[in-house]
Structure formats: structure tokens, C-alpha cells
């Protein structure tokens, strides 16, 4: 539910004593991006993952559609995914759902690469545990 993500972001903002936020939304779900944008509070800037935008016309919603989409896009989906991951690693705070493999990868990279270099400067809220 989008409201869980919104509440988690607000929790981060409260902790950091901020009212504005730059949010990178990494999702494969066009409806989630739409609902998030519709509920975006003033002061929150939303940046939707380019992967979602560039793969929209090639989207295959069937089970295991991603490999077929990747083939249809001649491998470009993989390159877009890596780009999305690099952009995500610029964040200080993460709201993840670690039942997702993609979120697990982001969290592992955050803990193994970012935190050791910045003195554990990142934070993560896991919505899986809610």
C-alpha cells in the first residue's frame, strides 16, 4: 500500500528534521508510480525510475515476463536495471520491502558498500516487517 511508503518517508523526514525530500521511486508497477504521484505532498520531489518509463511499451505482465521483455528489448532492460541501481545507491535513506529480490540487493549493497565508506550514514526502513 502506498500509504505505508508515505508514512515511512515521513518517519525519515521527521528524524532528519526536514519537510522536503527528493524521492527516487524504483518500481516495475506503473499503478504504484501513478498512486504515489497522486498522493505526493508539497515539498516532496518524485523521480520515477527510468526503467519503468523506458520499458513501459515492452512490458509483459505474465508470470516470468521479464526475460521475454529483455529479449524483446535486445538486452537493454539489463542496462537500464544497472543504471537504476547506481542511481538508487546515491540515497542516504531507503524504504524497502525485502521480500523483493531487488530490495534485498539494494539493502546488501547499502550495508556492504555504502555504510563502510561513510561510517554507517545510511538508514533503511523495511516494510516487509510491518
Whether the Cβ atoms of residue 100 and residue 75 lie closer than 8 Å to each other = no
Which three-class secondary structure state does DSSP give residue 129? helix
Strand pairing class (21-25; 44-48): parallel
Q: How far apart are CA 95 and CA 115, in angstroms?
A: 16
Give residue limits of the domains in the chain: 2-93
Query: Taking the model in full, what pTM does it have?
Result: 0.86
Q: What is the pLDDT along the chain (130 residues), one digit of tens a residue?
A: 899 999 999 999 999 988 889 999 998 889 999 999 999 999 999 999 988 888 877 776 766 677 777 888 888 888 999 999 999 999 999 999 999 999 999 999 999 999 999 999 999 999 986 4
Over its C-alpha atoms, the chain yields an Rg (Å, rounded) of: 15
Q: How far apart are CA 25 and CA 45, in angstroms?
A: 10
Which three-class secondary structure state does DSSP give residue 22? strand
Amino acid at each position: 500500500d502506498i500509504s505505508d511508503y508515505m508514512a515511512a518517508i515521513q518517519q525519515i523526514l521527521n528524524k532528519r528534521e526536514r519537510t522536503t525530500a527528493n524521492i527516487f521511486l524504483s518500481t516495475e508497477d506503473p499503478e504504484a508510480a501513478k498512486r504515489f504521484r497522486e498522493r505526493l505532498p508539497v515539498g516532496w520531489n518524485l523521480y520515477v525510475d527510468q526503467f519503468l518509463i523506458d520499458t513501459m511499451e515492452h512490458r509483459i505482465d505474465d508470470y516470468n515476463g521479464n526475460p521475454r521483455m529483455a529479449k524483446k528489448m535486445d538486452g537493454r532492460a539489463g542496462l537500464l536495471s544497472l543504471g537504476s541501481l547506481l542511481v538508487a545507491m546515491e540515497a542516504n535513506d531507503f524504504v524497502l520491502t525485502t521480500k523483493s529480490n531487488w530490495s534485498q540487493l539494494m539493502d546488501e549493497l547499502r550495508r556492504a558498500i555504502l555504510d563502510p565508506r561513510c561510517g554507517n550514514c545510511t538508514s533503511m526502513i523495511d516494510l516487509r516487517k510491518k
